[in-house]
Amino acid sequence: MQSHTAFGGNSPFEISAGAFAEAAEFSIDIGRRVVIVRFGPKVTIHTIADYARRLRAHPHFEPGFAEITDLREVDDLDLQADDFLKLADEIDPFALEAKRAFIVRSAVQNHAARLHKILRSNRTIEIFGNMEEAERWLGFQLQ
């Protein structure tokens, strides 16, 4: 499995507490054609834009890959209405037909995922409570 992990700083040794709180860590599984991203405790438009920029720059990323977005560690979701529009229309690096699974644990996380699903106006985004359900929906064999 080829993967890439990044936290938002230039190296893991240069991460401040604030940068880690806003980090998005992702890995790419080329064999299963999926990106798995986990967001830290605080998510802003800048956190997501940085993740999208790093993902687009990754040599193994393809916009048609599936994505699992794990929001369960997010406590502070600092996004405004305009941010959701910008995310859906400009920042999102995935193709409209790419299957996307959001994993949530709270009503706020669920609301944010539903807004993105509505604004991307397709039926390829679903919301789940755990990784197993998300992987099953994406058609992956559970180990």
Give the lowest-confidence range in 30-44, 63-77, 107-121. Answer: 107-121
Counting the structural domains of the chain, the total is 1
Interstrand relation of 34-39 and 24-29 (parallel, antiparallel or unpaired): antiparallel
The token pair at 115 is 């807004």
For the cut 90, the answer to whether the pLDDT of residue 18 exceeds it is no
Residue 108 lies in a domain: yes
CATH number at residue 98: 3.30.750.24
Average confidence (pLDDT) over 33-44:
96
End-to-end CA distance of the chain: 15
| pTM of the predicted protein model | 0.83
Residue 5 lies in a domain: no
List the one residue out of 135, 125, 4, 115 whose CA is nearest residue 24. 4
Residue 73 lies in a domain: yes
Residue 38 lies in a domain: yes
Range of the structural domain that residue 60 is part of: 12-137
Residue 76 lies in a domain: yes
Amino acid at residue number 72: R
Residue 21 lies in a domain: yes
